[in-house]
């Protein structure tokens, strides 16, 4: 067969934390990583003629792994924050999210918002914006877990009074794994925006990813993936 000439396909090394359905998680049937983020980065790479290789790690290991070059980019439902922007560069936002407070249904009258959590025990995933918000609650005792699934289990087991986490992830969990004992309080926090992060100064990769994101928005692929995971 003839050699394909032109630009060589690059392999983009992607880091993620795959216990965060519906963004990145293990499909129990196929045993493969799946989710909104995984399909978005696959589509972006395909659009730009590149391949992706996914590496699964703890959420708090993602930014250090960019710094040391173990991965090129994080695609991990990572919120663009001013603190993180001091350490990494982000692509344009690709998903609008937010935080919610999850409690046991029996406690709904006691805990209805951020302020009512004063002095409680809170659970969150390590290194996340949910954990950062939990630490701002007055006199709260915050326990951080490696995966959000463990935090959900701890709430059910009454090891804490509330979990603070990303709204789409909590909603997805409640719709599929909710047994009626846990729910969310009415207060929802300001929109957060997810971005893909690269090592500071990696301009070429940010530009490539932004171009790919723009193209999949323009050609309808983004909307198809969005509809698949979040419905209409």
By CB under 6 A, name the binding residues for ligand GLN: 17, 20, 59, 76-79, 125, 128-129, 166
Q: How far is the CB of 131 from ligand GLN (least distance, A)?
A: 7
What is the smallest separation between the CB atom of 169 and ligand GLN, expressed in angstroms?
7
Please identify, using beta-carbon distances, which residue of 52 and 77 lies nearer to ligand GLN. 77
Q: Judged by CB, which is closer to ligand GLN: 63, or 209?
A: 63
Minimum CB separation from ligand GLN for residue 80, in Å?
A: 8
Burial (CB count within 10 angstroms: exposed 0-12, middle 13-18, buried 19+), residue 182: buried
Distance CA 145, CA 127 (A): 9
The DSSP output letter for 86 is T
Residue 152 to residue 121: CA distance in whole angstroms: 13
**Nearest distance from C-beta of residue 144 to ligand GLN, angstroms:** 11
| d(C-alpha 83, C-alpha 76), whole Å | 17
CB 152 within 8 A of CB 102: yes
């Amino acid at each position: 067969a003839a050699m394909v000439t032109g630009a060589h396909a690059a392999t983009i090394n992607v880091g993620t934390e795959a216990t965060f359905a519906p963004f990145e998680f293990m499909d129990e049937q196929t045993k493969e990583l799946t989710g909104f983020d995984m399909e978005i980065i696959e589509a972006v790479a395909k659009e730009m003629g590149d391949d992706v290789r996914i590496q699964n790690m703890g959420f708090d290991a993602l930014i250090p792994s960019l710094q040391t070059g173990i991965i090129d980019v994080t695609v991990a439902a990572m919120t663009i924050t001013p603190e993180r922007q001091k350490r990494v560069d982000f692509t344009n936002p690709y998903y609008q999210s937010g935080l919610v407070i999850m409690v046991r249904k029996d406690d709904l009258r006691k805990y209805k918002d951020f302020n009512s959590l004063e002095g409680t025990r809170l659970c969150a995933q390590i290194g996340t914006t949910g954990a950062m918000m939990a630490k701002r609650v007055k006199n709260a005792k915050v326990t951080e877990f490696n995966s959000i699934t463990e935090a959900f289990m701890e709430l059910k087991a009454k090891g804490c009074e509330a979990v603070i986490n990303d709204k789409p992830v909590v909603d997805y969990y409640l719709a599929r794994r909710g047994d009626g004992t846990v729910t969310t309080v009415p207060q929802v926090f300001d929109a957060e925006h997810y971005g893909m992060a690269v090592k500071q100064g990696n301009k070429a990769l940010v530009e490539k990813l932004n171009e790919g994101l723009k193209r999949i928005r323009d050609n309808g692929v983004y909307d198809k993936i969005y509809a698949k995971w979040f419905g209409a």
